[in-house]
């Protein structure tokens, strides 16, 4: 990680004092994130991967509109607040940005109880209930093909066509599984046009929730608002299930005790807490299907990236994307039974 580069960028935010410290954080598959201490305050400095997020201004506009809206509704929790650099802008050299570090918090990569699931789902439910009256036309899609699953399928087929012999051989069982279960995708593609458009978070996985460091079931904030976009609210429910009902870490390929039904039920109950009256029947009737499809799509995305030689998701070891795909497939298999 580029600590030296991060320090140079930070100098354009405030003058560096004796207590300055900077460490690279492991979180996230796409951007570089640094925790900075300076003048007795803590900040998060991020270098955004511009090949994936080419338009940071769109993302920041979404974040600011949502934050302002939540403030107007007296939202009780922390919001993302982007801080200006010395030029008055919240973006430096097209790819850097800075925020306050949210203190007394801790993050998790893996769930530890059904209660934690319930509390996180209630938190997301509350976040959504406060956004239902914000006009979706105010929020732009920073990643136009993010929810386009025909395109995701097309990218996958291309990656199979162009993969190296070795990677193809290594991933063959997973490729076959995804081809054999393409019907899940078809079911979704038929349903999607009927679903109401709402503003979604787009990445409510467990590592994007900050928990109270004294109480691992209490949530302080939902972070990573980069994928705020118009879409179906089922995406957020389903991505939460993908992450919170998974009893293993996202790159653990082992089989056995992959999925927790207890966690799933806690998520459903929590998610409906503030939304039960507001969601349409077509949304409430398709929660489980959405979970299956979002897990299927995530398996497809990890496998596509493995076959493409890991150009999208950061990896720490060579077959990490294949392991991630295996993990999603094992989870999906439990849901299909």
Q: Which of residues 143-202 bind ligand GN1 (CB under 6 A)?
A: none
The whole-angstrom separation of Cα 115 and Cα 58 is 36
Binding of ligand GN1 by 289 (CB under 6 A)? no
> Which is closer to ligand GN1, CB of 111 or CB of 274?
111
Q: Least CB distance from residue 242 to ligand GN1, whole Å?
A: 8
Q: Least CB distance from residue 243 to ligand GN1, whole Å?
A: 8
Rg over alpha carbons for the chain, rounded to the nearest Å, is 20
Assigned token pair, 326: 């295996």
Select from Mg ion, ligand GN1, none the partner in contact with residue 181, using the beta carbon and a kind-dependent cut-off of 5 to 8 Å: none
- Of 61, 91, 33, which Cα lies nearest the Cα of 229? 61
Binding of Mg ion by 203 (CB under 5 A)? yes
Q: Which of residues 216-235 bind ligand GN1 (CB under 6 A)?
A: 224, 227
Number of residues in contact with Mg ion, rule: CB under 5 A? Answer: 2
Q: Which of residues 107-136 bind ligand GN1 (CB under 6 A)?
A: none
Stretch that binds ligand GN1, among 25-33, 36-44, 186-194, 284-292 (CB under 6 A): 25-33
Stretch that binds ligand GN1, among 27-35, 58-66, 158-166, 276-284 (CB under 6 A): 27-35
Which residue in the set 28, 107, 230, 253 belongs to the binding site for ligand GN1 (CB under 6 A)? Answer: 28
Query: Rounded to 5 degrees, what are φ and ψ at 24?
Result: -80, 135
Q: Which of residues 244-283 bind ligand GN1 (CB under 6 A)?
A: 250
Stretch that binds ligand GN1, among 24-32, 94-102, 113-121, 175-183 (CB under 6 A): 24-32
Binding of Mg ion by 224 (CB under 5 A)? yes
Q: Least CB distance from residue 263 to ligand GN1, whole Å?
A: 17
For residue 31, the 8-state DSSP code is S
> Which is closer to ligand GN1, CB of 38 or CB of 267?
267
The whole-angstrom separation of Cα 125 and Cα 120 is 8
Burial class (CB in 10 A: 0-12, 13-18, 19+), 258: buried
Select from ligand GN1, Mg ion, none the partner in contact with residue 232, using the beta carbon and a kind-dependent cut-off of 5 to 8 Å: none
Q: Least CB distance from residue 220 to ligand GN1, whole Å?
A: 18
Q: Where are the alpha helices (DSSP H) in the chain?
A: 3-10, 56-72, 114-129, 149-162, 165-170, 172-180, 182-191, 233-244, 261-272, 281-284, 287-307, 320-336
Q: How far is CA 332 from the centre of its chain?
A: 18
- Cα distance between the two ends of the chain: 42
For residue 197, the 8-state DSSP code is P
> Which is closer to ligand GN1, CB of 38 or CB of 243?
243
Q: How many CB atoms are closer than 10 A to CB 235?
A: 24
Q: Least CB distance from residue 132 to ligand GN1, whole Å?
A: 23
The whole-angstrom separation of Cα 241 and Cα 252 is 17
Burial class (CB in 10 A: 0-12, 13-18, 19+), 193: exposed
Q: Least CB distance from residue 66 to ligand GN1, whole Å?
A: 17
Positions touching ligand GN1 (CB under 6 A) are 28-30, 52, 203, 205, 224, 227, 250, 298
């Amino acid at each position: 990680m580029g600590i030296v580069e991060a320090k140079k960028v930070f100098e354009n935010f405030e003058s560096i004092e004796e207590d300055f410290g900077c460490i690279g954080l492991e979180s996230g598959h796409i951007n570089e994130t640094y925790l900075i201490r300076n003048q007795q305050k803590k900040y998060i400095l991020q270098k955004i991967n511009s090949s994936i997020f080419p338009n940071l201004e769109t993302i920041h506009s979404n974040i600011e509109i949502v934050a302002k809206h939540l403030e107007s509704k007296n939202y009780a929790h922390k919001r993302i607040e982007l801080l200006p650099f010395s030029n008055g802008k919240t973006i430096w050299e097209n790819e850097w940005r800075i925020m306050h570090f949210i203190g007394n918090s801790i993050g998790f990569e893996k769930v530890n109880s059904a209660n934690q699931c319930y509390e996180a789902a209630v938190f997301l439910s509350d976040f959504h209930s406060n956004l239902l009256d914000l006009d979706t036309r105010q929020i732009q899609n920073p990643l136009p093909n993010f929810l386009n699953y025909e395109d995701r399928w097309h990218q996958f087929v291309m990656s199979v066509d162009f993969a190296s012999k070795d990677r193809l051989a290594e991933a063959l069982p997973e490729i076959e599984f995804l081809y054999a279960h393409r019907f899940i995708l078809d079911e979704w593609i038929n349903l999607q046009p009927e679903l109401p458009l709402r503003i979604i978070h787009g990445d409510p996985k467990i590592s994007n929730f900050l928990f109270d460091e004294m109480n691992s079931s209490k949530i302080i904030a939902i972070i990573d608002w980069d994928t705020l976009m118009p879409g179906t609210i089922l995406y957020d429910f389903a991505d939460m299930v993908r992450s919170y009902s998974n009893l293993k870490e996202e790159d653990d390929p082992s089989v056995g005790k992959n999925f927790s039904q207890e966690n799933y039920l806690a998520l459903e109950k929590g998610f409906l807490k503030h939304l039960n009256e507001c969601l349409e029947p077509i949304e409430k009737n398709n929660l489980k299907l959405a979970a299956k499809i979002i897990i299927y799509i995530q398996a497809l995305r990890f496998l596509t990236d493995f076959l493409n030689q890991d150009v999208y998701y950061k990896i720490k070891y060579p077959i990490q994307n294949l392991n991630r795909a295996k993990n999603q497939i094992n989870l999906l298999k439990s849901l299909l039974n």
